Amino acid sequence: MTANRTRLLVAAVLLALGLVGCSNRTPATPEATRTPDAGVGEVTTDAEGVQEVTIETGDDYVFTPDAFTVAPGTVRLTVTNTATQLTHNFMFTTGAGPAEITEQIPLLAPGQSETIEFEVTQPGDYPFECTFHTALGQVGTMTVSGGAATPTASG
């Protein structure tokens, strides 16, 4: 009796998490449950030509924004975890982009912010993910455009 109830409960939880059930259904795109800070997702270029962009994640399974575009060159990417509960990470999906980007943020605790810097040369789409929550849809894409970066700020 108790075991049956437990099994039922486990099945219900798994169903709720979408881990079982119809597997050929396209998962719903998650939506951020928070408002991003000003300037988040905006790509700016400093005097040295370094492109800077900040993306956020929080107590949900979404990168905000989940897509941004940079030009070939140096990218300084900051990922801020505004969560009070959830730990995330950030890495480019292995073997998925036109070229490998090995820089990553292995662990981003609630309230933490980390910056990585890397070079991109080959245009195309570079998928990234939080490997803790890939199954929950916490993925995104950095697009490298064909042109060179133009400075948007001086200093």
What helix, strand, coil percent values describe the chain, rounded to 5? 10, 35, 55
Do the Cβ atoms of 120 and 93 come closer than 8 Å? no
The single residue listed with the structure tokens 């929550």 is: 133
Shorter beta-carbon distance to Cu ion: residue 90 or 126? 90
Closest contact distance (angstroms) between CB of 130 and Cu ion is 3
DSSP character at residue 38: T
Tokens of 24: 């050929």
Residue number of the CB closest to Cu ion reads 130
Closest contact distance (angstroms) between CB of 75 and Cu ion is 21
Binders in 88-147 for Cu ion, by CB under 5 A: 88, 130, 132-133, 138
Say how many residues touch Cu ion, by CB under 5 A: 5
Q: Which residues of the chain form contacts with Cu ion (CB under 5 A)? A: 88, 130, 132-133, 138
